[in-house]
Amino acid sequence: RNKYVHTVKVNDLTEGMIVAQNVLSRMGQIIVYKNSCLTKQMISQICYYQIPSVEIIDGEIPPQTALALEHKHEVEKTYLQRVLSRPDFEKFKERYISAIALMENSLNDIIFRRIEIDEPDLIEDTVNLFNRFDSTYELFAIIHELQKIDSSTQAHSMNVAIISRLIGTWAGMDKADLDNVTLAGLIHDIGKIKIPDIILLKPGKLTTSEYDFVKKHTIFGFEAIKDQRIDKRIKDAVLLHHERYDGSGYPFGYKGEKLCNYACIVSIADVYDAMTSVRCYHDAICPFDVIATFEQNGLCRFHPDFIYTFLHKIADSYIGSEVLLSTEEIAKIVCLDSKLSRPVVKLEMTDEIIKLKEHPDLYIQAII
């Protein structure tokens, strides 16, 4: 049949769709090239840059591609079902929802009633939730599933606190620092309480003036806690978590050593949760998609020690795991390579060793 171009909203994009025109960011950067076949990584990029819709060439996905995608999703579902079928998942979900409600009340009290922050009390639920995870992949799988239940600013803050504590643990922080960075994650977006819902929850793309106003949440948050008796670095994380190590962030364009460790860690956790939450309509998220997205966005934007620790630990935890490749072949991860999203694998059928970085059209679809 004849093909024609039509507009598809970002939440309706699926793997295998063909892009009709270059997809551009607000600054004119090409995010996805014309005639590309959409992958999860590409969809993540589109969502991350808040692009509301994409021009797609209408037409059926080739049968071979459709079959491959179906197989991939079945593999992803199998792992996620194993995680979610754990007897304690429902209890975890109840505690997660309850902790978010309590946290929301606490943050409102801090903003509107000027209540003094009780750090041990505020982070207790988050620490208990964090300690229940058995593995990195389980942590991320459950967070992604819970994003479907609650995508609020408060849930995002809980996720950022959990991930920040994970990064801090991997970086070798002591208990005092871990508790501090957890609190920083919990309250990093406290200033958004002062952003009207009509802007904060707007479904479409923000106007320039709306976006500029939302960016002020870092200032609003800092003003609300600057006189609190908490570690100065926690206050800095609230103010500076949108700054970038290369100076490309806001509100001041600070870079490098002007950014404290807490701000650098929270910024990574914040971006990770934002990137993955926009993809919650997928069944599961392959960790190597997450790593690739960070690599594509520019690792220089983040503190080198923390970003490489974060991504390397994620990738390293899957050495020895079986994976599904884009060719539908089963392989085992042998070791990591210089590009973390593209490790060295061994094919199950032939024992052939393949360096994925040398094969740009070959990638990991899912962990089995």
pLDDT, one tens digit per residue, over 274-299 is: 877 754 444 445 778 888 888 887 78
* Site of tokens 């020690």: 305
Element holding 225 (H helix, E strand):
helix 217-225
* pLDDT exceeds 50 at position 248: yes
Tell me which architecture the domain covering 87-285 has in CATH.
Answer: Orthogonal Bundle (1.10)
Domains of the chain, by residue range, sit at: 5-61, 87-285
Q: Among 45-59, 77-91, 293-307, 315-329, which stretch is predicted with the lowest mean pLDDT?
A: 77-91
Give the C-alpha distances (Å, rounded to integers) separating 281 from 13, 148, 160, 266, 367: 10, 8, 20, 25, 18
Interacting residues of 115 by C-beta distance below 8 A, sequence separation 6+: 106, 109
DSSP string computed for 267-303: HHHHHHHHHHHTTTTSS---HHHHHHHHHHH-GGGS-
Q: Which of 163, 165, 182, 158 is nearest to 100 (CA)?
A: 158
The Cβ-side half-sphere exposure at 125, using a 13 Å CA radius, reads 21
| Residue for token pair 């000027």 | 114
d(CA 225, CA 285): 35
Checking if the pLDDT of 165 tops 90, the result is: yes
> Mean pLDDT, the chain, as a whole number?
84
Q: Does 5-61 carry CATH code 3.90.105.10?
A: yes
pLDDT of residue 226: 94
The pLDDT score that the predictor gives to residue 236 is 97
**pTM metric for this prediction:** 0.78
